[in-house]
Amino acid sequence: MPYIPHTDDDIKKMLDVIGADSIESLFDEIPAALRQTSLNNVPTGLSEMQISRLMSERASNDQQGLSFIGAGAYEHHIPAAVWEITTRGEFYSAYTPYQAEASQGTLQLLYEYQSMMAHLTAMEVSNASLYDGASGLAEAVLMAVRANRKSKSKRILVPDSVNPTYRQVANTIVKNQGLSLESIAYDSQAGNTRLASLPDEPGDIAALVIPQPNFFGVLEDVDTLTDWAHQHGALVIAVVNPTSLALLKPPGEWGEKGADIVCGEGQPLGIPMSSGGPYFGFMCCKKQFVRQMPGRIIGRTVDLDGKTGFSLTLQAREQHIRRSKATSNICTNQGLMITAATIYISLLGPEGLQQVASHSHNNTQTLAKQLSQHASVEMVFSSPSFHEAVIRFTNQSVETVLEQLQQHGILGGYNLKQHFPELGEAMMICATETKTDSDLKQYADALAEIID
């Protein structure tokens, strides 16, 4: 199909109907000085064969090195069946299933996804996804202010150990709505948020954000922090890695009452590394707050004949008329990504997901131990961690180490100096279940060669 389907005759007939001499005359309101008469930097059109060759040449420039970066986007093994099923026509072309009578398959899949996420987080309700993990945190913050009837403030306590990108996105979304995101320092030795870092007299606060694990991969004392928040009348927003929940206590069981809202990035659940996206955000909450939760909820019922049926039970479509007062202004979700995540979790099951988490944790611990054996490499934090670790170089710059590792075909880690300069020449590493013993040894040998 051509990109411009209208012939010259078609265009002339349409212009005659509206009484215009030419297409250019439709833009006569634009001052001539602002018009671009030619696109000098746009090359002339290429044939299909030439385009294919050009794209192949550009693709060959992409490096396929061993990646140990992590930092919110993780390389996990994805069974081939996941995307074979996800890209079938029934799912691939499906959008929001407004017409239940024509969308039972999609609705059932979304319902199963919600059930899985509710079980994984030990929460009562799950929505059918958000844009990504960062905007999911912003939505959770807005939701907490609406849901916390006891609080009159718009203050949210956010530890510095939360993913810095999440903090930036959340601040961008909520700052013009009068919300205040107040920073909470992390312990420079342990790497997590200590109770002593929280204010003795916090006053009226709407919510406390608790990452688990935090951005450094370090585990937070979630029980103590959750109970502290509830004692001061604040809701708890948990930001979690879904893979870690196969090993760690789920947010619904934190402290005496559990977290109130749970959000995070769903990319680890079957979404490949793909130049930054697309990903999807998940959100779960206690049932008492369900009316304040953004996104859609799929319900299960029976029809007049007693047959099981699914439909959109709650959907935040009020943004069309309520504007800034709406529950959410993210008016589409990441349905295709959810499809992949649902199939991924179904294929792995509880035991498979636990194995992924366990192998990832063990690989990272092994790698960190091997790297820190060198005299000029030290571990930064003392607390237990999941599948990320932070190391520091005592006589090398992180930039130099990463550049030289890249020459060995290794993407060595995430440079923390941009967001956490106080840590010095620190770098975060991550080794998921995709890394073999030989991969870890290759990294350790390359680093030793660089430093020596």
Would you tell me how many other CB atoms lie within 10 Å of the CB of residue 313?
13
Residue 330 has pLDDT above 70, yes or no: no
Residue 58 has pLDDT above 90, yes or no: no
- Ordered domains of the chain (ranges, CATH): 66-75+349-451 (3.90.1150.10), 80-344 (3.40.640.10)
Residue 383 has pLDDT above 90, yes or no: yes
As a whole-number percent, the residues of the chain with pLDDT over 70 amount to: 94
Mean pLDDT lowest among 50-59, 71-80, 362-371: 50-59
What is the mean predicted confidence (pLDDT) over 279-307?
91
Q: Write the pLDDT tens digit of every residue in 87-115.
A: 998 888 766 777 788 888 889 999 999 99
Mean pLDDT of the chain: 91
Residue 432 — pLDDT band, cuts 50, 70, 90?
A: very high
Per-residue pLDDT at 316: 55
Residue 322 — pLDDT band, cuts 50, 70, 90?
A: low
What is the mean predicted confidence (pLDDT) over 113-134?
94
Residue 130 has pLDDT above 70, yes or no: yes
Mean pLDDT lowest among 159-168, 238-247, 273-282: 273-282
Residue 1 has pLDDT above 50, yes or no: no
Residue 62 has pLDDT above 80, yes or no: no
Distances in Å between the Cα of 349 and the Cα atoms of 253, 273, 301, 356 are: 21, 22, 25, 11
Residue 3 has pLDDT above 80, yes or no: no
Residue 157 has pLDDT above 70, yes or no: yes
What is the mean predicted confidence (pLDDT) over 421-428?
95
Residue 59 has pLDDT above 80, yes or no: yes
As a whole-number percent, the residues of the chain with pLDDT over 90 amount to: 73
